[in-house]
Amino acid sequence: MATLVSSQGYIYHCHLSKRAVIQTKEPYSLRRLSRHNHIETHVLSPRTWTLKISRKHHPTVCFAADEPSPSSSSEISADARIRSEVLSPFRSVRMFFYLAFIASASLGGLIATSRLIGALANPARSGEVLEIVKGLGIDVGAASLFAFLYFRENKTKNAQMARLSREENLAKLKMRVEENNKVISVGDLRGIARLVICAGPGGYIEEAFKRSREFTQGLVERGVVVVAYATDGNAPVLEFDESEGEDGEVSQSRRRLWRVAPVFVSEWERWLDEQKKLAGVSSDSPVYLSLRLDGRVRGSGVGYPPWQAFVAQLPPVKGIWTGLLDGMDGRV
């Protein structure tokens, strides 16, 4: 009898559940967590009344933000740290010895101070006061000198690493090659070309293009490639001669010189704005930046690039001096 009552109650419960599902016209689902950390979902369709089981992995909770924090742009990258160590291999050694000398002088000063207190308290040792004071002065002077050298070295290190970090961010910016529409990064041209970035309104780009005409061949021989970035969004009109003979060769050289354009303009704009703020230049000023073969910034300024100076100062990338003068790009 008890079994019959329980069976009728179970049937009645299923009947009510079925009516509720039909009235809502939504699938009735039950979820439970399995022992394998999966969620099993049992879906009962109101039309076919078939049982469907779907599994999905338990969602992983991540506490890191999807977007970089505002301070992430100022963080020093690992590549910048490695390049800093390569450029100044003995800096860490010097800083270690500076700290050692500071600790030694400080310890000597503490000992001399305790001796001075004892000598001043004991009239019998009054003759030692002058010698102790002299030794204490030497210790204080040495600690101050090495502390000054350490903080100056550390300041130089931080400035160099910040500059190298900005250059690494520049190396990640994307460009498009006009010849084959291939997208490359600035860092892909390290050891291959010397980039000159011209950033300004469309009219500024056109005038820089005209001024480079007579130096085209010399710039191409020195591996110079120009990145024309129109900050006002107006595409500059660069006229290339298509005539035969010598003008045709010059036209091809000019196309090789002005053959890349920036991609993802917002990233270029963000990087240039940061550079202008550090240099104290207004955001709407047209500027240029010239890079060395190794990707470091060789020079920059407001106005048009000094094409004639580039031809006079930079060595050719081909010929008998290839490789020997690769680093002779001027002082960084």
DSSP state for residue 322 in the 8-state scheme = T
* pTM exceeds 0.85 for this model: no
The average confidence (pLDDT) of the chain is: 75
Other beta carbons within 10 angstroms of residue 141's beta carbon come to 12
Which pLDDT belongs to residue 173? Answer: 92
Which pLDDT belongs to residue 63? Answer: 31
DSSP state for residue 124 in the 8-state scheme = G
**Mean of pLDDT values over 9-15:** 45
Which pLDDT belongs to residue 321? Answer: 52
Q: Among the residues of the chain, which ranges form H helices?
A: 2-24, 78-87, 91-121, 129-171, 202-211, 216-221, 246-257, 265-279, 307-313
CA atoms within 13 A on the CB side of 261: 13
Residue 311 has pLDDT above 70, yes or no: yes
Residue 103 has pLDDT above 90, yes or no: yes
User: Poorest-confidence range of 51-65, 72-86, 142-156, 171-185?
Assistant: 51-65
Q: Which residue has the higher pLDDT, 20 or 131?
A: 131
Which pLDDT belongs to residue 328? Answer: 55
User: Poorest-confidence range of 55-59, 179-183, 309-313?
Assistant: 55-59
SS3 content of the chain, % helix, strand, coil (to 5): 55, 15, 30
